[in-house]
Chain A
């Protein structure tokens, strides 16, 4: 029902998004993954009519929305990356205002407020000033505000950044329900691979303003079907050891984190012996070694040579 064609956005000579083409079918749940600065939010702003593309087109049911955004705005709910609420007002007052500007009033307005509040599980605390809410509660009201006019498509831009696990799982469950039970079309942006794995049928992976891979979860993972991941847990980082490992011809990708090193290599490469020898040379204490099947995260690593989050 929604598609973009070669979307491009240039900010003062700096290209933020370059040739993004993607589509959403009715009732689908689609993930948009990418590291910081990949251009996810910019893409979303263009899709949601807030930003004019430098070139390219966005079509809703075959009709371009760039000149005529009204129809799109009517059926679209956007949960922005930032908390877009009046901090000084209560949750109830916020929702009332956002309902009103969508033309709701009277019983319909009141009904929409309570429905949205129940959806995010904050009905009892609606009379409190938003400023005093926890991060997770603000995020939930941020979602509720986008649901006031019962949109058919909802676009969520990292709706779970910086919140507690409880709020996070509430939000994820809510999105899953909206998609499965209410048939809402969802475009979900995140850094968190596991969220996208759990929620989405299809995934787009973005980096440096370009869509570098797309497909169902299985399709993407099959990119790595001939590879495996070795996770070496360490007590602390050992830069010299890491350098040594990087020089191994057989290793395709190596990433160092606080807690250890991740290697991607062809299936069946017998490398552990050499790794242990190297660890002795560098006097490295290995806590644990684990050979895993690739996850989407590894796909990302494979495609970009970077981790999703630092």
Chain B
């Protein structure tokens, strides 16, 4: 296997045109698209922009007043009372939530609209909003009691998420978790200032489960197109490797390989491994230089790269299967027009559907669905999820699609490939 891999890479490396297509072209496109469309993409948090409905049943002012009353009746010394009251005004959960939702960095992402319960439900039904956040009655009071005096059952936010926009609602959930986290953080400080710091989970505003500190990252145009081009040009590797296989057959080198008593499937497997390896190298090179030249990614961020490499690796394996599939077809029909059609047309269509040129979010549903099932589109989605720091579990859906495609392609290749090596 290693012998075949080394030879394929050597052959590829000597072929300047192929190398240019696989490595130089994506850079040129990243540069062009990245610069030209940088405007489009900064508004391209549009991709993930969402409307949410806020149902405000809580009255913050009233809550604070009630809290003050209760505090006064509690028998706590006056000096401490005024300190707690000050903390209450400072950390009023409602205000913090308001602050987060209208924050500069989030404004492009989330448009929060206050509605009444009925209107919100209707908006959700009509898919006008992706989530309804209900701030229940006495939220301020209950939260403050729990946070500052450790009495009562705490407060809960109610979140209703639409199933028509999984990614977006996930983003929103993340935002809320950030809120919960910062609230706990604030309350810990407040409690510390108060001289009594109970264990954090006791003061948690109960919401969600995980206290992740994730914040949604906006995506730059260079980031978007580095990924977009990487997944698109990965497909070309499949065509390139099956092209090499066809030349090997044409120039009768394949006969020599068969004469050496290598099983034809070893040859096919070697093609898959070569394509996967080349694709993975291509990813690394593209990511590295795009970070260096265009500042697409932070090269020193160690927690960032494993995810990128994992997704890249998954797609690389899929491209390996794709190369095997194209090789099998080429050998079966003794004709490389399949590869030519693939490289000349199918890749472009896939790239379009998968969102390599322009985000698919604005496109019709059917195209988005189709694109999500192309190996490049699915990996692009996975990359975007990772880039935006969303929940890791969300990666599973696109990655499982890529893996499924890999398996299907491999099975097809084995069925199609002429076993005796003779067409």
A residues lining the B interface (CB < 8 Å): 48-52, 69-70, 73-74, 76, 78, 80, 82-89, 93, 97-98, 100-102, 129, 145, 149
Contacts and interface: CB of A to CB of B under 8 A. Distances in A.
A192 B3 CA distance: 38
Contacts of B420: 52
A100 B3 CA distance: 7
14 contacts: A48-B259, A52-B422, A76-B259, A78-B259, A80-B252, A82-B252, A84-B251, A84-B253, A85-B251, A86-B253, A89-B14, A98-B256, A98-B260, A101-B260
B251 A83 contact: yes
Nearest to A145: B256
B257 interface: yes
B11 A88 contact: yes
Given A50-B422, A88-B14, A74 B261 contact: yes
Contacts of B262: 101
Contacts of A73: 259-261
B130 to A, nearest CB: 54
B16 to A, nearest CB: 10
Contact of A84 (B11, B14, B256): B256
Nearest to B258: A50
Contact of A69 (B3, B252, B261): B261
Given A93-B10, A100-B3, A101-B3, A80 B260 contact: no
Interface string B398-423: 00000000000000000000001110
Which of A50, A52, A101 is most buried by chain B, counting CB atoms within 10 A of its CB?
A101
B259 A49 contact: yes
A145 B252 CA distance: 13
Determine chain A's interface SS by DSSP, over half rule. Answer: loop
B251 A87 contact: yes
Given A52-B422, A80-B252, A84-B253, 7 more contacts: A78-B255, A84-B255, A85-B253, A86-B253, A98-B256, A100-B3, A149-B260
A102 B258 CA distance: 10
Interface of B: 3, 7, 10-11, 14-15, 251-253, 255-262, 420-422
Contacts of B256: 78, 80, 84, 98, 101, 145
A102 B15 CA distance: 26
Determine chain B's interface SS by DSSP, over half rule. Answer: helix
A281 to B, nearest CB: 53
A98 B261 CA distance: 12
Contacts of B15: 88
Contact of A86 (B7, B258, B260, B422): B7
Nearest to B266: A101
A93 B422 CA distance: 26
A49 B258 CA distance: 9
A87 B14 CA distance: 10
Given A49-B259, A76-B259, A100-B3, A84 B252 contact: yes
B416 to A, nearest CB: 19
B255 A50 contact: yes
Nearest to A48: B259
Contacts of A145: 256
B3 A97 contact: yes
A97 B7 contact: yes
Contact of B11 (A51, A80, A89): A89
Contacts of A82: 251-252
Contact of A50 (B3, B10, B259): B259
Which of A78, A84, A149 is most buried by chain B, counting CB atoms within 10 A of its CB?
A84
B422 A101 contact: no
Contacts of B422: 50-52
A76 B10 CA distance: 28
Contacts of B261: 69-70, 73-74
Nearest to A100: B3
Which of B7, B10, B259, B421 is most buried by chain A, counting CB atoms within 10 A of its CB?
B259
B398 to A, nearest CB: 37
Contacts of B7: 86, 89, 93, 97
Nearest to B16: A88
Contacts of B259: 48-50, 73, 76, 78
A162 to B, nearest CB: 16
A169 B7 CA distance: 32
A85 B253 CA distance: 6
Nearest to B3: A100
A80 B259 CA distance: 11
Nearest to B252: A84
A76 B255 CA distance: 13
Nearest to B251: A84
A159 B260 CA distance: 20
Contacts of B253: 84-86
Contacts of B3: 97, 100-101
A83 B293 CA distance: 44
B420 to A, nearest CB: 7
B278 to A, nearest CB: 15
